[in-house]
Chains A and B, each alone.
Chain A
Amino acid sequence: ETGVTQSPTHLIKTRGQQVTLRCSSQSGHNTVSWYQQALGQGPQFIFQYYREEENGRGNFPPRFSGLQFPNYSSELNVNALELDDSALYLCASSLEREGQTQYFGPGTRLLVL
């Protein structure tokens, strides 16, 4: 059984650019959630994808968008990057969408200059 993987591990962008982060869910998991973790803070829920559809969203603007593919891997896209978007972006997969144990990936550290 393979764990959750994310790519890239680190990324540097400038303000106004766009970024795409990728997540491969754990084998057999059909649900992926994305989180933003600022330095010294807890993870903040961005959204969840279940069977290729967005299933729940936190307090993030529409410039944060995502996709889930038939193999349940997922992408997080952020447009018009702002300095405050600098953070660790974590994805977590679970067996189903409802109240299941989440397994986190190692994260992508994004720096916006």
Chain B
Amino acid sequence: GENVEQHPSTLSVQEGDSAVIKCTYSDSASNYFPWYKQELGKRPQLIIDIRSNVGEKKDQRIAVTLNKTAKHFSLHITETQPEDSAVYFCAAYTSGTYKYIFGTGTRLKVLA
């Protein structure tokens, strides 16, 4: 079945450094890839997304890149801040299936 692998499971960075989280999806027909941030005890919140006709998208300190050939997409956070500490989930969506497949999450800790 469809699968999304996410790495690393935990990531610690110093404040101001960059953080990169990587996901690999199995369904080559997947065409929409959102990233969610989930703080402890709170709902997942969309932080950025990318569609398969775009290779890269940026929103201030956050960027996502997509490599369709490798079935791989990544989240990049620059100039990390303590409030970036949370669990981040990637997801992949395939048109016509109506379902999102989520990765297992990355716990990001930004050390002050």
Q: What residues of chain A have their CB less than 8 Å away from a CB belonging to chain B?
A: 4, 33, 35, 40-45, 48, 50, 55-59, 90, 97-99, 101-107
Choose one: A50, A59, A102; the contact of B100 (CB below 8 Å): A102
| B contact residues around A97 at 8 Å (CB) | 98
A43 touches B102 (CB 8 A): yes
A-B pairs with lowest CB-CB distance, top 9: A56-B98, A42-B102, A104-B43, A45-B99, A99-B32, A48-B98, A104-B44, A106-B43, A43-B102
Q: Find chain A residues with CB under 8 A from B96 CB.
A: 98
Q: Counting CB contacts under 8 A, is B45 at the interface?
A: yes
- Chain B 52-78 interface residues, beta-carbon cutoff 8 Å to A: none
Are B102 and A101 in contact (CB-based, < 8 A)?
A: no
Q: Is the CB of B99 within 8 A of A56?
A: yes
Which bracket fits the contact residues of B?
A: 20 to 34
Chain B contacts to A: CB under 8 angstroms = 1, 6, 31-32, 34, 36, 42-46, 49, 51, 89, 91, 93, 95-105
Main secondary structure of the interface of A (DSSP, over half): loop
5 contacts between A and B (CB under 8 A): A42-B102, A45-B100, A45-B101, A56-B97, A98-B98
**Bound CA span A98–B102, Å:** 17
Cα(A98)–Cα(B31), bound, Å: 11
Give the chain B neighbours of A58 by CB distance below 8 A: 99
Q: How far is the CA of A71 from the CA of B45 in the complex (A)?
A: 24
Given contacts A90-B43, A104-B45, contact A41 B104 (CB under 8 A): yes
A50–B43 touching, CB < 8 Å: no
Within the assembled complex, what's the spacing in Å between the Cα atoms of A98 and B46? Answer: 17
Residues of the B chain whose Cβ atoms lie less than 8 Å from the Cβ of A57: 99
Min CB–CB distance B65 → chain A (angstroms): 19
B105 and A105 form a contact (CB under 8 A): no
With both beta carbons as reference points, the residue of chain A lying nearest to B1 in the complex is identified as A59
Chain B residues, Cβ within 8 Å of A4: 43
Q: Which residues of B contact A104 (CB under 8 A)?
A: 36, 43-45
Nearest residue, chain A, Cβ from B49: A101
